[in-house]
Amino acid sequence: MQPKDIPARDRLIFAMDVPTCERARELATELGDAVTFYKIGLELMMSGEYFELLDWLLERDKKVFCDLKFFDIPATVGSAVRQLKDRGATFVTVHGNRSIMEAAAANKGDSLKVLGVTVLTSLDRGDLDDLGFDCDVDALVLSRAKQCLEAGCDGVISSGLEVPKLREYVDEKLLVVSPGIRPVDNKPAGDQKRVVTVETAFANGCDHIVVGRPIRDAANPREAALGMQASIAAQFAS
């Protein structure tokens, strides 16, 4: 387990992948205190009420991860991060090369943390071939994580499968946030290809997990979230 001072309940980040902010508010109300940390991404950005939802969550003492994957010329990415830094979000994601990540890190302020995307959990070896990467997934994740740290980013997005290598070869202070999490009774991965269970992700050394469909699509989303919270609490109890 990692020594970072992160409350156990904040280690679960719920991916609010719904089409409207009205549905997002309904779901957050249903989840109540079972979830303290929310990821809101591109689908909700296009709904037209993204910042209203961000403010609504903050007013209810929730933490917010703006998963916007900024990828543009460095000056534009830097400006976008600067616009976001005082909005109250905890995390924002960026894509791209070292100069893009450096621009994001230089404009993040004191409270916003920048997470660099390593390799999306929807990609596998065949997808990397299609994209022209002549290396395996582990090597690419490790290379990009080192670039993120050197560029001044606070952490990375990485599948739980690659976290042991990150912990072995990259500075421990790097935050690792792992999507593609599936409970053992929910094996179908959908468009996620590199997935792990809640227990494996934290045993491998991640700091936060991002969970979407296993909570959102559960018969009882609140009970599903509470079950994951109980598992996390047990792992960090010792």
CATH of the domain at 147: 3.20.20.70
CB-CB contact of 181 with 214 (8 Å) = yes
**Active site includes 69?**
yes
CB-CB contact of 112 with 84 (8 Å) = yes
| Domain-embedded: residue 21 | yes
Which helix (H) or strand (E) is 191 found in, with range? none
| Domain-embedded: residue 26 | yes
Q: What's the confidence (pLDDT) of residue 190?
A: 52
Q: What is the pLDDT along the chain (238 residues), one digit of tens a residue?
A: 445 889 999 999 999 999 999 999 999 999 999 999 999 999 999 999 999 999 999 999 999 999 999 999 999 999 999 999 999 999 999 988 899 999 999 999 999 999 998 755 554 545 445 545 555 666 777 888 888 999 999 999 988 888 888 888 887 888 999 987 876 544 444 555 446 788 999 999 999 999 999 999 999 999 999 999 999 999 998 6
| Domain-embedded: residue 136 | yes
Q: What's the confidence (pLDDT) of residue 133?
A: 54
Q: What's the confidence (pLDDT) of residue 166?
A: 85
| Domain-embedded: residue 1 | no
| Domain-embedded: residue 224 | yes
Q: What's the confidence (pLDDT) of residue 136?
A: 63
Tokens 């549905």 label which residue? 23
Give the residue among 53, 65, 137 at the shortest CA–CA distance from 94: 65
Q: What's the confidence (pLDDT) of residue 123?
A: 47
CB-CB contact of 67 with 45 (8 Å) = no
Compute the distance between CA of residue 10 and CA of residue 35 in angstroms, rounded to an integer: 8
| Domain-embedded: residue 2 | no
Q: What's the confidence (pLDDT) of residue 3?
A: 58
| Domain-embedded: residue 193 | yes
- Residue 210 pairs with which residues in a beta bridge? 13
End-to-end CA separation in angstroms for the chain: 10
The one catalytic residue in 4, 39, 63, 69 is 69
Q: What's the confidence (pLDDT) of residue 180?
A: 78
Q: What's the confidence (pLDDT) of residue 188?
A: 47
The count of domains in the chain is 1
Q: What's the confidence (pLDDT) of residue 115?
A: 96
Compute the distance between CA of residue 189 and CA of residue 16 in angstroms, rounded to an integer: 17
| Domain-embedded: residue 3 | no
Compute the distance between CA of residue 67 and CA of residue 65 in angstroms, rounded to an integer: 6
pTM over 0.95: no
Write out the residue range of the structural domain in which residue 162 sits. 8-235
